[in-house]
Amino acid sequence: MLKIGVLALQGDVREHIASLHECGATPITVRRPSELDSVSALILPGGESTTIAKLAHSFEIFEPIRKRIAEGMPVYGSCAGMILLADRVTDAAHDQTTFGGLDITVRRNAFGRQVDSFETDLEILEIASTAVRAVFIRAPWVEQVGSSVEVLSSVTDKKGVAHPVAVRQGSLLATSFHPELTSDNRIHRYFLEQMCHSFQK
């Protein structure tokens, strides 16, 4: 049985655990390097990316996560988790560090104050042919993607500019929004079935 970890330093950990249970997976919370060693894949939850990164340094799990990502461990990051996977961050907090691995530039809090939080229906390539209700909370968007990154979904702003909000690069998946806050588990299911089962630890 595949063990899936949820990084449990801060953020909506419980919600990801619940979504994984609903998909029939065996989730565990991960705070220590020994717990990380026991999982085949990891979820980085929504929350506050600066806080999660700082705590990861304090718990001495920052470098171990970086290393596992570099070795090809499947990782899914939602919202703050997307920022933590990004190689580059625009509007980063002073001293902000990320695990990296995903060849994207993200802009933190990209949707601005007026639309701090909103919901919309999105189609997501490969994952959902019918709309997914996407919940955005002080969400980032993707400003630039490397050539090996696949854009799965975008949101178009008032000026008609499309901003990617769901991307995949090999074993790494990231969304600007929070499927863990809805009862629609298609993104978790895709991560488990299409990305984790091919990588057995």
Active site residues: 79, 178, 180
Please list the alpha-helical segments (H only) found in the chain: 13-22, 33-37, 49-58, 62-70, 80-85, 186-190
Locate 131 and state its tokens. 């709309």
Gap between the Cα atoms of 67 and 174, Å rounded:
18
- Decide: is 46 part of the binding site for ligand GLN (CB under 6 A): yes
Q: What is the DSSP string of 53-76?
A: HHHHHHTT-HHHHHHHHHTT--EE
Residue 9 contacts ligand GLN per CB under 6 A: no
SS3 20: helix
- Selected binder of ligand GLN within 17, 30, 79, 86 (CB under 6 A): 79
- Residue 8 binds to ligand GLN (criterion: CB under 6 A): no
Pick from 110, 137, 149, 152 the residue near ligand GLN by CB under 6 A: 137
29 by Cβ neighbours in 10 Å (0-12 / 13-18 / 19+) ranks as middle
Q: Does position 109 bind ligand GLN by CB under 6 A?
A: yes
Binding region for ligand GLN (CB under 6 A) out of 42-50, 54-62, 159-167, 187-195 = 42-50
Pick the binder of ligand GLN from 83, 104, 127, 132 (CB under 6 A): 83
Interface stretch with ligand GLN, choices 54-62, 77-85, 143-151, 166-174 (CB under 6 A): 77-85
Residues that bind ligand GLN (CB under 6 A): 46-49, 79-80, 83, 108-109, 137-138
